[in-house]
Structure 1
Amino acid sequence: MAATASLKSSLLLPSPISDFSSAALSISTQARRRSWQPRGARMQVAAAADSKNILVMGGTRFIGVFLSRLLVKEGHQVTLFTRGKAPITQQLPGESDAEYAEFSSKVLHLKGDRQDFDFVKTSLAAKGFDVVYDINVLSRDFSRISAHGFTGREAVEVAPILDALPNLEQYIYCSSAGVYLKSDLLPHFETDAVDPKSRHKGKLETESLLETRDVNWTSIRPVYIYGPLNYNPVEEWFFHRLKAGRPIPVPGAGNQITQLGHVKDLATAFVLALGNPKASKQVFNISGAKYVTFDGLARACAKAGGFPEPEIVHYNPKDFDFGKKKAFPFRDQHFFASIEKATLELGWKPEYDLVEGLTDSYNLDFGRGTFRKAADFTTDDMILGKKLVSV
């Protein structure tokens, strides 16, 4: 705690850092254990008097699962564009049969491959969608030069959609805060320099493409996303180790600061951008209200799952050759962004604090015995083995 307090004062950051002391975590378990219900009034979004014909690129997992429910709740006609390899809808944990039946009966499906540009142009033009949500963030090894000069997979696949819908009212895109150039000055703001060599450069190219086209667009840049059905091993990585009663290996001193945003809060932000004049041709960072240290995140995950205080083992990544395996689920650096613009311009604010959100994720996913990736403690054993020898 002393190290964390020292870090707070040395960074001189105006936003609070969650250090997850026992006093800060006195949250009622009963209050946290609830299933998610879309709340239009709480989002300050009126019932859709002007229903939109909306296309969601992807939409069958994680972000899309929650976003599509909110859009249907708001009275919009929602079509999911997928390759049809996964079920089009799935019942959420805690969702009643009646609620799921109502939702699934209102969602349409357009089966196709977005790399089949001729099909995309023909099928989308026939439907005449008003709005497109592009949240299909799964990366694939794909690169070709488009007629617009872009080579990244994302931008190449977006151009045919825009070509097919000349009367499109809005294109809402899921980008990433990973596009920002690494900096000593934090948090990242939407106006900060970006890194053209980032592994998210395809998202930068897509944003550039949208800027060059005569289209009303909005780009959302999440930091780390967590929540039920997360297909990235973020909180799941910690839960696996906590359940197994194992120490949690954390690189460095564990005081690296990062930021997580709940998927349901992200979905709300996407909906608030819809038809909002203040969102026109704008970029918004979306994440949680507070920042957290790596060590603090380990303790928060333990609190959320009802586990004892975890044993945290610090190590120097330079002492190991992990090969292609990833020993820790976060980039080993300070990485967080300001959400001030979204709160001011969109009227959005996160509903979930970090511990409450992690509890929601645990209760509705990992705590039920469901997860995306099986536990792999290979790198942990390498780290712990070296620590035992050194002791």
Structure 2
Amino acid sequence: MKTKVLIMGGSGFVGSALVPALLDSGCNVTTLNRGSRLVRGAEQITTDGYDAAAMKAVTARFDVVIDTSCYDGAATRIAYEAFGGASTLWLHLSSAAVYRAIGNTGALESDALGGADVWAEYGRAKHAAETVLIDAAKGPFVILRPPYLYGPQNDSDRETFIWSRALSGRPVIVPGTGSALIQFLHVEDLAALFIYLLKSVPDSSQIYNVAAPEIMTSYEWARRLAAIAGRDIELLRGAEVAPKERPRDYFPFRDTNCIVNPQKLFATTDWRPQFDWQKRIRCNL
């Protein structure tokens, strides 16, 4: 019998890799979202995730729930109350932004949580979503905390931001001194990890950092992207040319480390990321 999987969300960037991967693995896939985009190959439930009555009115039940879209505690509570009781596994996509501070060696799962001030409400809300799930869960769950995602159909203007300026000869300002450390995970690696977990349901609930090992500075990231486009680019440092401006007003990332230590995942499973940033990023250009 096919595994019945419900994806909370599923019509965006993560879903573009996750839905096809699940279908290829033989799963029966249903998405639940507001229905603004067609998700090919999946059944679609159209409803508002914040409407508790509408969520509870859904009569279908699923073996595995993958939550890619709950950004706060309220949405997580509603979703779990609607679907958690019948599922054998709950997979929750969180974020490195839940950590209160990230040093130069990467956050550990045991580090202080609550979201750093630089992430504003996003980090606090993602932490609240985790807390609600941990408190409510009656069966096994896995929380995944990646840093930045990249890959085809990324709807965040990140790589394209640098390439558009490199190709048009415009300079780029990097935040601060350009020394903030950043780390990535390819969206297809994330999809592969979800499939790995649903095929080998853990005996107990787990929280994992997940990322490819390579770490680079924001300055190096911008320089390497421009080089991939075959262009030199003028890189200016925000600390010198825009000291009073918010980094997110002129660059895709904040002036803060966003790196995690994934060794717990690597030590306790045989899953490994397959995509090398330098090779795979060329596919996006």
TM-score normalised per structure 2: 0.89
- Tell me the equivalent position of 1:301: 225
What residue is the counterpart of 2:142 in the other structure? 218
Equivalent residue pairs, number: 279
**Higher Cα Rg, which structure:** 1
**C-alpha distance in 2 between matches for 1:221 and 1:181:** 13
Contact 2:173 2:236 (8 Å CA) reproduced = yes
SS in 1 for 2:130: helix
SS at match of 1:258: strand
Q: Does 1:263 pair with 2:187? A: yes
Question: CA 1:276–1:160 in structure 2 vs 1: closer, same or farther (change >3 Å)?
Answer: same
> Are residues 1:66 and 2:1 paired?
no
Match of 2:49 in 1: 114
Relative to structure 1, the CA distance from residue 201 to residue 325 in structure 2 (aligned partners, 3 Å threshold; closer, same or farther) is: closer
Distance 1:128 1:334, change over 3 A: closer
Matched residue SS, 2:57: helix
| SS at 1:231 equivalent | coil
Deviations 1:299-334 (A, max 9, x none): 2212333x2232222231784444796111112123
Deviation at 1:217, TM superposition (A): 0.9
Structure 1's 280 and 66: CA in aligned 2 closer, same or farther, altered over 3 A? farther
- Gap regions ≥5 residues in structure 2: none
Offset, 1:343: 2.2
Q: CA RMSD in A?
A: 2.2
1:133 aligns with 2:66: yes
1:207 to 118, 121, 130: 130
| Structure 1 residue ranges without an equivalent (≥5) | 1-49, 90-103, 140-153, 363-391
The answer on whether the counterparts of 1:279 and 1:346 sit within 8 Å (CA) in structure 2 is: no
Alignment check: 8 A CA contact 1:56 1:133 kept: yes
Q: Which residue of 2 aligns with 1:236?
A: 160
- Is the 2:247–2:254 Cα contact (8 Å) retained in structure 1? no
User: In the alignment, is residue 310 of structure 1 matched against residue 233 of structure 2?
Assistant: yes
Displaced runs of 4+ in structure 1, greater than 6 A?
A: none
Q: Is the partner of 1:296 in helix, strand or coil?
A: helix
Q: Secondary structure at the match of 1:261?
A: strand
SS at match of 2:128: helix
For 1:170, the equivalent position in structure 2 comes to 89
Contact 1:300 1:354 (C-alpha < 8 Å) held by counterparts: no
Q: Hey, what does 1:385 align to over in structure 2? A: none
> What one-letter code is carried by the residue in structure 2 that aligns with 1:136?
S
The alignment partner of 2:5 has SS state of: strand
Which residue of structure 2 lines up, in the alignment, with residue 253 of structure 1? Answer: 177
1:295 and 1:169, CA in 2 relative to 1: closer, same or farther beyond 3 A? same
Asked whether the equivalents of residues 170 and 216 of structure 1 are also in contact (C-alpha less than 8 Å), the reply is yes
Q: Which residue of 2 aligns with 1:282?
A: 206
> What is aligned with 1:31?
none
TM-score by length of 1: 0.66
Distance 1:241 1:248 in 2: 7
- Structure-2 change in CA distance of 1:275 and 1:237 (3 Å): same
From 268, 277, 281, the equivalent of 1:354 is 277
User: Deviation at 1:238?
Assistant: 0.9
- Structure 1 residues 324 and 132 mapped into 2: Cα distance closer, same or farther (>3 Å)? same
Distance apart, 1:255 and its partner CA: 2.8
- Of the three residues 213, 216, 223, the one matched with 1:292 is 216
Map 1:316-355; keep pairs closer than 5 Å.
316=239, 319-322=242-245, 326-355=249-278
Cα distance in 2 for partners of 1:333, 1:324 equals: 10
Is the 2:144–2:209 Cα contact (8 Å) retained in structure 1?
yes
Q: In 2, are the aligned partners of 1:269 and 1:286 still within 8 Å (CA)?
A: no
Letter paired with 2:131: S
Measured in 1, the distance between the counterparts of 2:28 and 2:113 equals: 35
SS of the residue 1:192 aligns to: coil
